[in-house]
Amino acid sequence: MAKLQGTFTALVTPMFGDGSIDYEGFRKLVQNQIKAGVSGLVPLGTTAETPTLNEHDEEEKLIRIVIEEVQNAKQTSKREIPIIMGAGSNNTRDAVYYVERAKKFGADYALVVTPYYNKPSQEGIFRHFEAVSKVGIPIIVYNIKGRTGTNISTPLLKRIAELPNIAGVKEASGDIGQMMDVIAEIKNKKPDFVVLSGDDSLTFPLVAAGGDGVISVVANIAPELMVKMTNAALKNDIVEARKIHYRLLPFFKAAFCDGNPTSIKYALKTKGMLSTDAVRLPLVEVTEEAKKTIEVAIKKCEL
């Protein structure tokens, strides 16, 4: 399996005004991402509103759509498009089940977040990843203290990286210093260990520092630009990558100005890429102030 590098889109889940899923809208979104040349797709992550989806009916239907479209692309263009399937839970038994499901459906990787709410110790986090690593599918560790309440320290990640089937990390700690420590202490010793940004705005500096790319929310609306920026940085074309980074910077901020995926869904609706910006409770639509911020950023960034 080729090493993960580039832009991987954390897919939103389009919905109608009544909260039901717009499956055809989702299919079109996936097709648009593939056409734009993204390196891979990430269904059932945080951006997909997975906590509010029915795991058997809705989630499995979304999974099947992504797999169908990726298989179609492979047949027509011979492109390999890895699927990194969200498979996290704060219950280790459930996380193992979701990773097994990802493997059963043919995903290439499972994205497993730090257990949230429980706030386990570093040893508890290690054992959680030890359990999912035994399933037999490559695992991307997802470190996002802002949502889970617990940071995976670099020494702990170093231990986790030695487990079988641990392929890399989605680093969303927001701490570029920690990300560079991960590269220095883990990636430089294990070159196949993938380090992906979990923050769109830190993609350029992370790749410039030796990272591999991004799991991107902004790619939902600007896949071509995210692909160009990330690929330029990977090719050490710093001037081009920096140019696109600063072009997109206002939208990097606006895309999260009133939460995720509420802000990006409103942006997609504004651009006519979604029929509605509907979300499910406890999420609600963005404020009027946020709408203006998003609209201004779209125009300023020429999206």
* pLDDT at 77 (0 to 100): 87
For 36, other C-beta atoms within 10 Å of its C-beta total: 17
* pLDDT at 78 (0 to 100): 85
Among all residues, which ones are annotated catalytic?
Answer: 142, 170
Going by the DSSP 8-state scheme, the letter that residue 90 receives in this structure is S
* pLDDT at 1 (0 to 100): 59
Q: Report d(CA 102, CA 109) in Å as an integer.
A: 8
Cα angle 216, 292, 203; round to 5: 20
* pLDDT at 250 (0 to 100): 98
Of 99, 102, 13, 84, the residue nearest 50 (C-alpha): 13
In the chain, which stretches have pLDDT less than 50?
none
Architecture of domain 6-236: Alpha-Beta Barrel (3.20)
* pLDDT at 171 (0 to 100): 97
Of 199, 14, 42, the residue nearest 110 (C-alpha): 42
